[in-house]
């Protein structure tokens, strides 16, 4: 992998990640951009004990442009985009409309491919491995920032999820605090350690139970296990864990990195087959959960990826209404065992 760092016309950082070591990236951003002005502010909710990013400048962000005006496609004559090069393998740049910026963290956009009409599931294993390398590198770099406590690599796919750009891409958030979801897991992790006097790790027990029971296992590799969790919140939800527990992407060994592309691409392709061949692509969120950098339980945390869809059946979405949105109390319309069965049924070798 070759990494090339450059700057966009307004000073934001742009990075190219290329499979070929001899690739030269010298295209210049010639757009007449003014410096980015952000108004990100972190406010603490004293009743709930969590934080909210106030980012009113995001109201002006680009919203569902036509394909010929996509800001994530390579630049060409008559269309200068966020990526000056005429093509690219993987590109990462600072978001022009960030939720978090400066002392409030950092937000980046990750373009998985230059092909506008593609998706992550369409990538080759080599391309997926390059994305994994980019996620890992950005986690390392953001971890060096004083304002960042935790790095979150994720992809929103589909208009139903709220995606505003159709080009295959994801984002990376560097939070200036430990997120509420991670905080809950860390509290459960500590409570379990206290109950067992440190004799076992809660993440290890969860994965071991799923492997032993088998009913919710979706697929198993030598270095990764994918399963529908026992208390899944979403109609179709899969958790993917490396066999050897590690706190973040930086700690994955070479064997796990080598196997990840085939396992992950298979999961994504199965998601697109859940509802049948005549259905549109399945909307999903794919989210890497990584340990905070400076938390005392960092080494006990388990890196894992959560992949889930809000589509519960053909033409119907799981809408977060009163119980979920008002009280945070989820009700799932699909049993985890039925979801796991369906995800096994649509395996590529069937």
What is the CATH number for 199? 3.30.428.10
One domain for residues 200 and 288? yes
Q: Which of 127, 159, 175 is the last residue of a domain?
A: 175
Contact by Cβ (8 Å): 168, 162:
no
Answer yes or no: do 139 and 40 share one domain: yes
Outline where DSSP puts E strands in the chain: 2-7, 13-18, 41-45, 50-54, 90-94, 106-111, 150-157, 169-175, 217-220, 224-227, 236-242, 284-289, 304-309, 311-313, 316-317
Position 183 scores a pLDDT of: 97
Q: Are residues 294 and 247 in the same domain?
A: yes
Confidence at residue 7, expressed as pLDDT on a 0 to 100 scale: 97
Q: Is the pLDDT of residue 60 over 80?
A: no
The verdict on 171 and 201 lying in the same domain is no
Residue 209, in any domain of the structure: yes
Axis-axis angle for helices 254-271, 125-142 (nearest 10): 120
Q: What rounded mean pLDDT belongs to the chain?
A: 95
Q: Give this prediction's pTM.
A: 0.96
Q: What distance, in Å, lies between the first and last C-alpha atoms of the chain?
A: 34
Looking at the fold, whether 163 and 86 belong to one and the same domain comes out as: yes
56-60, 95-99, 126-130 — which one is most confidently predicted on average? 126-130
Same structural domain, 188 and 118:
no
- CA 72 to CA 70: how far, in whole Å? 5
Domain extent, residue 65, equals 2-175
Band (141; pLDDT cuts 50, 70, 90): very high
Give the DSSP H or E segment for 139.
helix 125-142
Residues 57 and 25 in one domain: yes
Residue 221 has pLDDT above 90, yes or no: yes
What is the average pLDDT across 250-276? 97
What pLDDT does residue 269 have?
98
**164 with 188, same domain?**
no
Rounded to an integer, what is the distance from CA 138 to the centroid of its chain?
A: 13
Cβ atoms 228, 238 nearer than 8 A: yes
Whether residues 19 and 168 fall in one domain: yes
Percent of the chain with pLDDT over 90: 91
- The predicted pLDDT at position 107 comes to 97
Judge whether 66 lies within some domain: yes
Annotation says 169 is catalytic: yes
**Does 28 reside within a domain?**
yes
Both 274 and 328 in a single domain?
yes
Residue with tokens 């920032």: 145
Q: Residues 168, 20: one domain?
A: yes
The residue annotated as part of the active site, out of 57, 116, 167, 169, is 169
Cβ–Cβ < 8 Å for 260, 128: yes
Q: Is 208 in the same domain as 233?
A: yes
pLDDT at 182 over 90: yes
Q: Is residue 36 scored above 90 in pLDDT?
A: no
Q: Which residues of 99-125 are buried (b: 16+ CB within 10 A; e: fewer)?
A: bbbeebbbbbbbbbbbebeebbbbbee
Query: Is 185 within a domain?
Result: yes
Q: How many helical (H) and strand (E) elements, i.e. helices and strands, does the chain have?
A: 6, 15
- Whole-angstrom Cα distance, residue 44 to residue 177? 11
Question: Does residue 350 belong to any structural domain of this protein?
Answer: no
Where does the pLDDT of residue 217 fall: very low under 50, low under 70, confident under 90, or very high at 90 and above? very high
Residue 338 reports pLDDT greater than 90? yes
How many structural domains does the chain have?
2
Task: Decide which of 175, 197, 220 is a domain's last residue.
Answer: 175
Q: Could you tell me if residue 76 is inside a domain?
A: yes
Q: Which residue among 175, 198, 228 closes a domain? A: 175
């Amino acid at each position: 992998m070759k990494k090339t760092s450059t700057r966009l016309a307004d000073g934001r950082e742009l990075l190219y990640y290329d499979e070929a070591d001899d690739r030269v990236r010298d295209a210049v951003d010639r757009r007449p951009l003014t410096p980015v002005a952000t108004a990100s502010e972190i406010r603490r909710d004293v009743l709930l004990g969590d934080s909210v990013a106030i980012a009113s400048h995001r109201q002006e962000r680009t919203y569902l442009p036509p394909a010929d005006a996509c800001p994530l496609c390579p630049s060409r004559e008559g269309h200068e985009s966020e990526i000056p090069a005429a093509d690219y393998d993987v590109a990462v740049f600072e978001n022009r409309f960030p939720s978090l910026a400066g002392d409030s963290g950092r937000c980046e956009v990750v373009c998985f491919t230059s092909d506008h009409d593609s998706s992550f599931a369409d990538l080759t294993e080599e391309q997926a491995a390059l994305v994994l390398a980019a996620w890992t590198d950005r986690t390392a770099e953001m971890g060096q920032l004083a304002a960042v406590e935790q790095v979150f690599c994720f992809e929103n796919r589909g208009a139903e999820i709220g995606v505003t750009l159709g080009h295959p891409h994801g984002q990376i958030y560097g939070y200036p605090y430990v997120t509420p979801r991670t905080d809950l897991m860390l509290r459960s992790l500590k409570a379990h350690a206290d109950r067992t006097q440190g004799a076992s790790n809660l993440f290890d027990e969860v994965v071991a139970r799923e492997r032993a029971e088998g009913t919710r296992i979706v697929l198993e590799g030598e270095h990764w296990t994918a399963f529908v969790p026992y208390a899944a919140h979403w109609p179709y939800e899969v958790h993917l864990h490396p066999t050897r527990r590690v706190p973040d992407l930086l700690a994955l060994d070479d064997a796990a990195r080598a196997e990840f592309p085939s396992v992950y691409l298979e999961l994504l392709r199965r998601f697109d087959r859940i509802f049948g061949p005549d259905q549109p692509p399945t909307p999903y969120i794919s989210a890497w959960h990584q340990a905070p950098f400076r938390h005392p339980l960092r080494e006990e945390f388990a890196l894992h990826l959560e992949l889930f869809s809000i589509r519960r059946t053909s033409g119907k979405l799981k809408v977060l209404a009163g119980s979920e949105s008002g009280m945070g109390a989820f009700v799932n319309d699909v049993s985890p065992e039925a979801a796991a069965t369906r995800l096994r049924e649509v395996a590529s070798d069937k």
